[in-house]
Structure 1
Amino acid sequence: MTLKSTKIQSFIALSDVISLLNMTSGFLSIVSTINHDFYLASIFMLFALMFDSVDGWVARKINRNDELGFGKNIDSLSDVISFAAAPGIFIYTIGTTISNSPYILTTLVSLLIFICGVLRLTRYNAIADYINFNGFIGFPIPGIAVILSAYYLTGAFDIYIALILMTVVSLFMISNFKYPKLDNKLLIGAGAILIILIILNVPLTIANISIPPLILLIITLYCLIIGLIKK
């Protein structure tokens, strides 16, 4: 490999640009969290999910040549920002803003999210080419960001319930449970519509509970327990 061939233009493709948009959304979520704008932080995590959902599809459509693994690495590094760092910082920061919140427990759970996220992605990259299974081992990492953001956006957020949820989901990410690839078009379509309704802030509420994020939360939790059902 010559020095000239290491120019960034030689590596980056359209699908990688989309992965960078995923990472950008995760970074903006972190910035919003630092500014205590938890609503916007949640929205940016959902944007990250949208970009992460299409980068692989785009790579296949353009016949992405990724012999050196550039695309796989940029995708994983982007996921670390959006689905490990962003949720971890979110739960830590929101926990510190709530009076009488368990500071030490909040810190430990936020660290657990980050550690399990990194372990989940590293294992995936290590075994992806060696397992005979068309799916995922361990709960896919974007799910933790969806669960946290959707739960917050329902308007019924409780720090103790959130800490329990994040602990369970983090452990499921590094579990040996098998998860099929999501190819149910009806479920994908419903999820996309719900995210659009959430981003557009369509006022659909019952008893001060926002319905679109509630339904999205239920769907994602259903996807979480599939690993237990099909173990």
Structure 2
Amino acid sequence: MNKLITILEVGNILSYLANIITICNFICGVLSIYSCVSNNTFAAMVFICLGMIFDLFDGRVARRFNTVSEIGKELDSFSDLVTFCIAPSILAYSVVLHELAHAGLICTLIFSICGLLRLARFNAEQSNLSVFIGLPAPCAALCLLVLISVHSPFIVAVGMCILSLLMVSKLEIPNFKKQNSEKVEINGWK
């Protein structure tokens, strides 16, 4: 009887594991924003990158343990919005775009709004496609982190606008996660 209870407890924990990983992504986004407010640029960048690692694994864990759910999909999008759209745009503003005053603020808002639109479109229309339509938000965030390191307000503003347009574009980008899922399983992992 005790073994059965233990097996059920482990199974119950596994059903929440993907969502816990997704929430860790969200926490990284919030901590990145907090780091921006505290003028700790390096920590803000690290938290965004750490969020990317959690984002890589939440879906894989959900598929591996057959715990894919609608709530998990929504949690993932909300977490991605914070970690890959809002946090990087606030970071860009706090590091360099504040020098452009209102224009910098507008670039910050455009990036966040385009990320929001991209994530909503993905959930509504594209989650089952084998390609991404538009630049994925984590990729846009990574590109923005590289741009921020240039420390040029003009380059960051222009790059941010280009990344924003790419997120809402109709550009087809290969989805390597979906292509790899068709490969043969090795030791139970795809």
TM range (shorter): 0.7 to 0.9
Aligned residues of 1:138 and 1:179 also touching (Cα < 8 A):
yes
How does 1:10-159 map onto structure 2 within 5 Å? 13-66=16-69, 69-95=70-96, 101-128=99-126, 133-153=129-149, 156-159=150-153
Q: Which residues in structure 2 correspond to 1:184-203 (within 5 Å)? A: none
Structure with more of its chain in helix, by fraction: 2
Q: Deviations over 1:40-95 (max 9, x none)?
A: 111111001111011111111101142xx110000001011101110121122223
State the alpha-carbon separation in 2 of the partners of residues 96 and 80 from structure 1.
20
Q: Give the whole-Å Cα distance in 1 for the aligned partners of 2:49 and 2:35.
A: 13
1:148, distance to aligned residue in structure 2 (A): 2.1
Q: 1:126 to 1:40 in 2, by over 3 A?
A: same
Give unmatched runs, 5+ long, in structure 2: 1-11, 181-190
In 2: Cα distance, 1:27 partner to 1:93 partner: 15
Residue 180 (structure 1) aligns with: 174
Contact 2:92 2:148 (C-alpha < 8 Å) held by counterparts: no
**Matches of 1:181 and 1:65 in 2, distance apart?**
18
The Cα shift of 1:171 comes to: 0.7
One-letter amino acid of the counterpart of residue 169, structure 2? S
Match of 2:176, SS state, is coil
| Contact 1:33 1:89 (C-alpha < 8 Å) held by counterparts | yes
Structure 1: runs of 5+ lacking an equivalent: 1-8, 186-231
CA distance in 1, matches of 2:133, 2:175: 10
Instruction: Return the alpha-carbon distance in structure 2 between the equivalents of residues 122 and 82 of structure 1.
Output: 15
